[in-house]
Chain A
Amino acid sequence: MAVITDAELARLAETSRLKLSASEAEAFRRDLNELLDYFSRINEVESRGEELYYVKEMTAAPRKDEPAESREAAALRSKFTREKDGFMMAPKSL
């Protein structure tokens, strides 16, 4: 069955963008192995079906191609850290 090693957990944490302390990592590794072990019951189900992402088929027709005011743009912009002349400023990252 799925055995998540320390190395695999470290890779998962990095992919997930989560820093973990050594004790957290140990606890999560234990939890994840225990949970995946339980959920491996999924293998008992016949897998002849289609992959079902949504239980409802989306059949909406496209709306009319007419220009409209963008919704709540100013309110949304106000949520960002800093804004200047219509530009959003994020912390330096490179």
Chain B
Amino acid sequence: MLSITLGKLKLLESGSLTAEENAARLLEKILREDMSLGAFIETFGSDALEEARAVDAARRNGAVGRMAGLGVSIKNSVAVAGRRLTCGSRMLEDYRAPFEATAVSRLRAAGGVLLGSTNIDEFCSGSDCSRSAICKTVNPVDHSRVPGGSSGGAAAATAAGLCDVALAEDTGGSIRCPASFCGVAGFKPTYGAVSRYGVVDMAMSFDQLGPIAPDVFGCALMLSAIAGEDAKDVTTAGAPAVDFTRGLDSLPKGIRVALPKQFFVGCDAGVEKLVRKAVAKLEAHGAVVEEVDFPIVSYALPIYYLLVFSEFASAMQKFDGLKYGFKANVDSNDLIDAVSEARRQAFGTEAKRRILLGTFITTKEHREAWYSKTLKARSLLKAEFARLFKEFDVVAGPTMPMVAWQCGEKSQDPLQMYLADVLTVPANCAGLPAGSVPCGSVGGLPVGVQLMAAWGSDALALKAMAAVES
């Protein structure tokens, strides 16, 4: 069976569907359905159609990229030149990007047609897309449920068929969580695999761009377009630009898969059953699966959050309501007073909470006990992962310990929201590639299985995902 993405590509390649027709249909569908879904912050209308016509013209001349004619959405923390770059925050509500992210330029170069930008939790600070100051996104599978976050708009748009593929970003699960909740595939590449130039940072040592698509092929296709070195982002030094779709359906025989038992602690029973069934599929592909004890992973959540608070507080310092973005109407001659008032007005509660926590952890008196200690624990976690990957090729488990929760269920309880990320943050702490693939549903709500691989083994992680998907 052709994957959805491959099927669409074949239609476009054969000429039975032009890029313009595809873009027009998707834009029309967005107009019709997004009122109730809230996945998009802005659509690019006539610009998208113009881009699509240029792709059609290029095809007539015989030279098009691999993604030619596919409709792409962009997470709204990634710069599209001249377009709104809100980050889901009042702070940047009317801000327009003065330049373009490298990944976006590469998607255009591959023939992707940019349809619009998708909703996110404010500065990516959330796991259910409820913290956007711009609009509310719901889960297309069940509108009373959250789509997951922070890339909730990207996953909802993909699951509802409002775009062919979505560019998203993952700091602690922001691609994989909504992919799992909405029933689509999502992939967070190795840290440094994709340029972050033009991405508004939330926590710079964790942030990574990646794809959300209806299927693993779509993820591999988009990753092939955006990955590789970029002189504008030092973290990409040495990053390979390869075709991740090659050999996607040929999982090497005899790979060793670890199933850490800690991944199932507190996991919903229905989710666990489906995930174990999905992992058994790897065995059918000749993999050897072994349950392992991996205690350090239980500490990934505190490691992740304590460092994210610190990096977040630092990243938010540039928003002062003076230079650009939100302008407060403050009647004060005192600079500190004016800045503090602007930040009070423009930041949401979770952003403020993270700024306060990050400031606390990094103050001189508390640095040693909190920040320094956590940085050391992070190196231990990275080393333990390296040791695990000496014995195993892939680490598997659930993406999320539960299915999508009800809208509003966790909005008032920060700790409960953080705890939901327990299975996705380990990959970010160690910079490892990790993806989520749908593996069934519980009570009609999608469940995702997560597959992680060693540093730089993005191709293998994608192959394992494809094996589970098949």
- Contact indicator A48/B238 (Cβ below 8 Å): no
| Cβ contact within 8 Å between A79 and B95 | yes
Q: Counting CB contacts under 8 A, is A41 at the interface? A: yes
Residues of A within 8 A of B340 (CB): 13-14, 17-19
- Tell me, rounded to whole Å, the shortest Cβ–Cβ distance linking B318 to chain A: 11
Residues of chain B lying within 8 A (CB to CB) of residue A42: 299, 302-303, 306, 370, 373-374, 377
- In the bound complex, do residue B237 and residue A60 qualify as a contact, i.e. CB atoms below 8 Å apart? yes
Residues of chain B contacted by A55 (CB below 8 angstroms): 191, 205, 378, 382, 429-431
Which residue from chain A places its CB closest to the CB of B365 in the assembled complex? A8
A31-B99 contact, Cβ under 8 Å, with A49-B377, A52-B382: no
Q: Which residues of A contact B109 (CB under 8 A)?
A: none
Residues of B within 8 A of A87 (CB): none
Contact partner of B356 (CB less than 8 A), chosen from A12, A44, A45, A54, is: A12
Partner of B336, one of A17, A20, A75: A17
Distance A13 CA – B313 CA, assembled complex (angstroms) = 12
Contact segment of B167-175, B254-262, B341-349: B341-349
Which of B237, B320, B382 lies at the interface centre, i.e. has the most chain A CB atoms within 10 A of its CB? B237
Interface hit among B264-272, B321-329, B387-395, B457-465: B321-329
Bound-complex Cα distance A55 to B306 (A): 16
Chief secondary structure at chain B's binding surface: helix
> Which residue of B320, B373, B414 contacts A35 across the interface (Cβ within 8 Å)?
B414
Q: How long is the Cα–Cα vector from A43 to B366 in the complex, in angstroms?
A: 13
CB distance from B247 to the nearest CB of A (A): 26
Binary per-residue interface labels of chain B (263-292) against chain A in the complex, 1 for a CB within 8 Å, 0 otherwise:
000000000000000000000000000000
Query: Nearest CB to that of B383 among chain A residues?
Result: A49
Identify A56's interface contact among B98, B192, B322, B378, CB under 8 A: B192
Which of the residues A48, A58, A79, A93 comes within 8 Å of B234, measured between beta carbons? A58
Known: A51-B372, A71-B99. A93 touches B237 (CB 8 A): no
Choose among B95, B234, B299, B357 the residue that contacts A44 (Cβ–Cβ < 8 A): B299
Q: How large is the interface on B (under 10, 10 to 19, 20 to 34, 35 or more residues)?
A: 35 or more
Contacts of A18 in B (CB 8 A): 340, 343-344, 347, 352, 355-356
- Which residues does chain A contribute within 8 Å of B333, judged by CB atoms? 92-93
Does chain B have a CB within 8 A of A7? no
Interface magnitude class on chain A: 35 or more
Chain A residue numbers with a CB within 8 Å of B327 are: 81
Cα-based distance from A58 to B259 in the complex (angstroms)? 32
Chain A residues, Cβ within 8 Å of B296: 45
Given A18-B344, A55-B431: A49 in contact with B98 (beta carbons within 8 A)? no
CB contact under 8 A between A49 and B357, given known A55-B382, A81-B327: no
- B353: chain A residues at CB < 8 Å are 28, 31-32
Pairwise interchain contact A45-B430, C-beta atoms closer than 8 A:
no
A84 close to B (CB within 8 Å): no
**A15–B376 touching, CB < 8 Å:** no
Chain B nearest CB, measured from A16 CB (Å): 5
Chain B, Cβ-Cβ closest to A46: B380
A22 within 8 A of B: no
Contact B98 A59 (CB under 8 A): no
B377 pairs with A47, CB closer than 8 A: yes
Contact mask for chain A residues 59-94; partner B; CB cutoff 8 A; 1 contact, 0 none: 110010000000110011011110000001011111
- Per the bound structure, the CA–CA distance linking A47 and B372 in Å amounts to 9
Q: How far is the CA of A45 from the CA of B377 in the complex (A)?
A: 6
Question: What are the residues of chain B within 8 A of A60 when measuring CB–CB?
Answer: 234, 237
Residue of B at shortest CB range from A42?
B302
Measured in the bound complex, the distance between the Cα atoms of B32 and A29 in whole Å is 44
A16 touches B359 (CB 8 A): yes
A20 CB to nearest B CB, Å? 7
Contact status of A56 and B352, CB under 8 A, knowing A15-B359, A50-B379, A81-B322: no
Q: Are the C-beta atoms of A20 and B305 separated by less than 8 Å?
A: no
Q: Please judge, given known A-B contacts A18-B343, A47-B373, whether A80 and B431 are in contact too, CB under 8 Å.
A: no
In the complex, 27 of the A-B residue pairs with CB atoms within 8 angstroms, ordered by the A residue number, are A12-B359, A12-B363, A18-B344, A18-B355, A24-B352, A28-B356, A32-B353, A34-B415, A35-B357, A36-B357, A42-B302, A42-B303, A42-B374, A44-B299, A45-B303, A46-B380, A49-B378, A49-B380, A49-B383, A55-B378, A58-B234, A60-B237, A75-B98, A79-B95, A79-B98, A79-B323, A91-B338
A32-B360, A42-B373 known; 11 new pairs, CB 8 Å cut-off, are A12-B363, A18-B343, A19-B341, A35-B418, A47-B377, A49-B378, A50-B376, A56-B191, A76-B99, A90-B322, A93-B333
- B residues adjacent to A (C-beta < 8 A): 95-96, 98-99, 191-192, 205, 231, 234-235, 237-238, 296, 299, 302-303, 305-306, 313, 317, 320, 322-324, 327, 333, 335-341, 343-344, 347, 352-353, 355-357, 359-360, 363, 366, 370, 372-380, 382-383, 414-415, 418, 429-431
